[in-house]
Structure 1
Amino acid sequence: MHLSPEQERDIRREFDRLTNMSQRELRDWLATAESRKVGMVRKGETESVGRQSARQILAIRDAKAADLTDADYRHMKKVIGYCRRHLAQRPWGDVTDTRWRWSLMNWGHDPLKR
């Protein structure tokens, strides 16, 4: 996958917009029981795909733009797609303590955060 500088910039901008939790908020969230209660766990693994994604999000955010790899951009696109799909499926009512919100938070997005 070879991206133009404009494509890289657009992906990074949308990734930064959708992953609205700070580094600290995301790390603190990963330490909660709720974070461990949601998400799909692949056969043979012990941690959900979302929690694994959160760790990649943290690494991407810690990296300098010049050091980002094609794999990092692929993951950013995956996060963007996941967040967009999940946000389109928002349930009715208060979502504060829902698996829907918790799953999004594992992907770096808190839908209650403005």
Structure 2
Amino acid sequence: MAVDEVLWTEFHRVVNMTSRELADWLRTREAGTDDEPLPDQAGTPKGHHVLAILGKRKSDVDSADEAVMRAVVDRVHAERREDLEPVAGEAHWRRRLMSLGHDPLKPVR
């Protein structure tokens, strides 16, 4: 399946966290005093899907990946201005976007 070039480019623009940053964030997000999940299971399913997509070549993206990419792009655009300039906001808002790979305090790539 050939992924839409515009979607591929925009996904990689709005996902401004590296794979390592996202993986670290997903593990940190789940850390607490209660039972912690295994490191590779911490975080949201969508966050893990984003992480998996970041590790793929464009030619390896499937329809499920494309649906997640579109959802992430749509969500980030719905919650941010089009220019995606770094901006502070409510802590819960930032954490929610970071779980999708977008840190509102970082410039876009």
TM-score by length of 1: 0.70
User: What stretches of structure 1 of length at least 5 have no aligned partner?
Assistant: 38-46
2:18 aligned partner: 22
2:61 aligned partner: 68
Asked if 1:98 is matched to 2:91, the reply is: yes
- Structure 1 residue 27, shift from structure 2 partner: 0.7
- Structure 1 residue 24, shift from structure 2 partner: 0.7
Q: Per the alignment, in what secondary structure is the counterpart of residue 31 of structure 1?
A: helix
Q: Per the alignment, in what secondary structure is the counterpart of residue 21 of structure 1?
A: coil
Q: Per the alignment, in what secondary structure is the counterpart of residue 52 of structure 2?
A: helix
Asked if 1:58 is matched to 2:54, the reply is: no
Which structure has more helix as a fraction of its residues? 1
Structure 1 residues 58 and 94 mapped into 2: Cα distance closer, same or farther (>3 Å)? closer
Q: Distance in 2 between matches of 1:84 and 1:57?
A: 16
Name the Cα RMSD after superposition: 2.7
Is residue 88–residue 105 contact of structure 2 (8 Å, CA) maintained in 1? no
Structure 1 residues 94 and 109 mapped into 2: Cα distance closer, same or farther (>3 Å)? closer
Q: Per the alignment, in what secondary structure is the counterpart of residue 14 of structure 1?
A: helix
- Structure 1 residue 54, shift from structure 2 partner: 1.1
2:73 aligned partner: 80
1:10 aligned partner: 6
1:41 aligned partner: none
Is residue 15–residue 100 contact of structure 2 (8 Å, CA) maintained in 1? yes
The alignment of Structure 1 onto Structure 2 pairs a total of residues equal to: 93
